[in-house]
Structure 1
């Protein structure tokens, strides 16, 4: 006797209010594969009859990382922040920041803790009203026409709060329908995003049971499901494991290559140098340097330039008690 087992996807268990569930289609890649993305590994063949002998070590060749392709300098400015200012009582978090991000750019914002990065991104995305200044996204005033502007933006905020009593599949479905996608589109895109972010096995679990890295990935998937023109990401790689970080980076790079724009903040200087074509260094609520990575870092590394602008290193003096152990 042959028993037939019927399998269902977590996405198929979500009931849409006015349309029957569409059968899950085969998840297509988010973008065409790059035939040059993987090179054949070079192997060193040693004859089995070779007699081991001492050889002088050759100096290891330093391989320079490929330069990031710069955004078209003639591309239109899609995010323009002018004179942004925000105060919390007597404290000034942002003191007149100006930013211009062009279409197809991978733009990074770096700065020490408390520099005003999150406040700036929150004002750009319409989550926090500025005391002064203006923000335009693709020519639309974010605060004068918030509905039209927010349709163009995908947001991964800091200290993100999700509806964590939903499953991952339900959260993706909710995010897609909230953005106006129909039943079929939201299911197909949810399947694609789950496969891309490695969340297929977790879709039927409550988001409350996700790890910090998985929560970050499902939130990023929710930000991308409506295919926005601009992605604003606050610390997108925080708590994300190295393998997932590489996958997310590749997804974002393909998104930018297809004409999307990414504006992100991060403390990882190496990451910013590898993936971003432009960067702004914010210290105490002001932009101290901005431009291409090469222009900002000059002859030093981006980290050295950042430390120089942020006020240098703090020399830890005293604390001799730390060297005498309590036991």
Structure 2
């Protein structure tokens, strides 16, 4: 579903991501972890066509992000770490706006908005102005918007930030259901306990380089994910 081949991205001559190769298949839920500045957000932005890259190729459902970024964007959803919403809109106006962009029919959007709005407890607040929303409510709205057009791939940057325990649980449930239906999710997180319990795969980035990747049980071994991550950070070990 997502194929990253030798991705390299530099800023002012300084590499942010170096020769990154990673494949995520349909049905897989993959955590992307690393310290601040490791290159996780840069990688995610390259994958969804927001950020241009210097070398390599990225494919979404077999489509090249470099050659056909628009078609790739139709097949994926991206949830940034700080979603920029339109405060002057109501929640329902924003969701209708997103549904219009992706050509979601009136019947489909009504059903999905009700489904996800109820799941995240946001339905009663959709008539309110987004400017009156808390950070957590805005995060919920952005998640619902990401699910509206039924993408095949979801990219998320720290999706659990700002969510209360109930909303966090609801998001985990939706993520599992999405992948169980054949979708794929690739998300960055600093909450290693969540990654360890939720994901079947993990990729660890250090200074723009992939230092460990694979099935969660294989990468973790007899240790916790936190122990593995800290050991890699201390030793600077690479693949």
Q: TM-score scaled to structure 2, two decimals?
A: 0.95
- 1:1-327 residue pairs with structure 2 within 5 A? 78-311=1-234
- Is the Cα–Cα contact under 8 Å of residues 177 and 186 in structure 1 kept in the other structure? no
Partner deviation per Cα, 1:38-60 (whole Å, 9 max, x = no partner): xxxxxxxxxxxxxxxxxxxxxxx
CA distance, structure 2, for counterparts of residue 308 and residue 209 of structure 1: 44
Gaps of 5+ in 2: none
What is the RMSD of the two structures over their aligned residues, measured on CA atoms?
A: 1.1
Gaps of 5+ in 1: 1-77, 313-327
Q: Which moved more, 1:107-116 or 1:155-164?
A: 155-164
CA distance, structure 2, for counterparts of residue 150 and residue 108 of structure 1: 21
Q: Quick check: which has more Rg, 1 or 2?
A: 1
CA distance, structure 1, for counterparts of residue 55 and residue 69 of structure 2: 17
Task: State the number of aligned residues.
Answer: 235
Q: As a proportion of its length, which structure holds more helix?
A: 2
Q: TM-score scaled to structure 1, two decimals?
A: 0.70
- Note the C-alpha offset of 1:311: 2.1
User: What secondary structure does 1:311 align onto?
Assistant: helix
CA distance, structure 2, for counterparts of residue 311 and residue 86 of structure 1: 25
Partner deviation per Cα, 1:155-194 (whole Å, 9 max, x = no partner): 1023321122111111111111110112222222212221
CA distance, structure 2, for counterparts of residue 162 and residue 116 of structure 1: 24
Structure 1 residue runs of 4+, over 6 Å off?
none
CA distance, structure 2, for counterparts of residue 213 and residue 98 of structure 1: 33
Q: Which moved more, 1:184-193 or 1:162-171?
A: 184-193
CA distance, structure 1, for counterparts of residue 233 and residue 90 of structure 2: 42
CA distance, structure 1, for counterparts of residue 87 and residue 206 of structure 2: 34
CA distance, structure 2, for counterparts of residue 270 and residue 157 of structure 1: 21
Q: Which of 1 and 2 has higher RCO (CA within 8 Å, sep 6+)? A: 2
CA distance, structure 2, for counterparts of residue 183 and residue 103 of structure 1: 28
